[in-house]
Amino acid sequence: MKTEKRENSPTIDKIVEPRKRLLRSSGLRPMLLQVSGDRMAVEVALQVKMALESHAESSIAILVDPTNPSAKSIKQAISKELRNLAINHHAPMNSRERVTDRFDRSYVIIDSWNAVKGVEFEAVILVGIDFMTEALEDSDRNFETKAGLYTAMTRAKDHLVFVYENKTAIVALLETALNAPEQLRD
């Protein structure tokens, strides 16, 4: 079998060009938002309202760290503020209340971030990331904590917002990652 030699074939670096994309498919960069604790629920509700005003058919998840002892009260406070703004939403307080097939457009859910594995939303707001700590003495717990945050981050299709009150080591790591210079070619 005779084969032809191809002239002008591109080199491998022209075929495969890795790119670092800090932008989601919407073109929006992930946002790190510091808010005082007494304003957190109000600010989260306002973020949801702004998102729905610009993209009425959006699905939005407001996800809280499940290991935070205040998770239930945080979810209740955000739910109350969403009601004050007349925004329909679903906020299960335990697994029996969770409706797993209710992710149609437009939809807003408030839940813990380990409860929505495998579900993607146009926008995700991660609340209370500053509660997470580096569990250096317990590598398994440290891994679980970071894996939980990673899973929550990957639920966002178009827009990702991190909300925190205090700048902690985890917040600083996220800030560094979000502000890192491009390492790969454009």
Instruction: Flag whether pLDDT at 99 surpasses 80.
Output: no
Q: Lowest mean pLDDT: which of 77-86, 95-104, 112-121, 126-135? A: 95-104
pTM: 0.77
Q: Classify residue 18: in a domain, yes or no.
A: no
Q: Classify residue 15: in a domain, yes or no.
A: no
Starting at the edge strand found earlier in the chain, the sheet holding 107-112 runs 31-34, 156-164, 121-127, 59-64, 107-112
Residues spanned by the domain of 121: 25-179
CATH of the domain at 128: 3.40.50.300
How many H-runs (helices) and E-runs (strands) does the chain carry? 5, 5
Instruction: Flag whether pLDDT at 44 surpasses 60.
Output: yes
What six digits make up the tokens of 8?
């002008």
Q: Classify residue 46: in a domain, yes or no.
A: yes
Q: Classify residue 9: in a domain, yes or no.
A: no
% of residues, the chain, pLDDT over 90: 26
Instruction: Flag whether pLDDT at 39 surpasses 60.
Output: yes
Domains identified in the chain, total number = 1
Opening angle at CA 143, ends 174 and 114, nearest 5:
80
pLDDT at site 24:
47
Q: Classify residue 184: in a domain, yes or no.
A: no
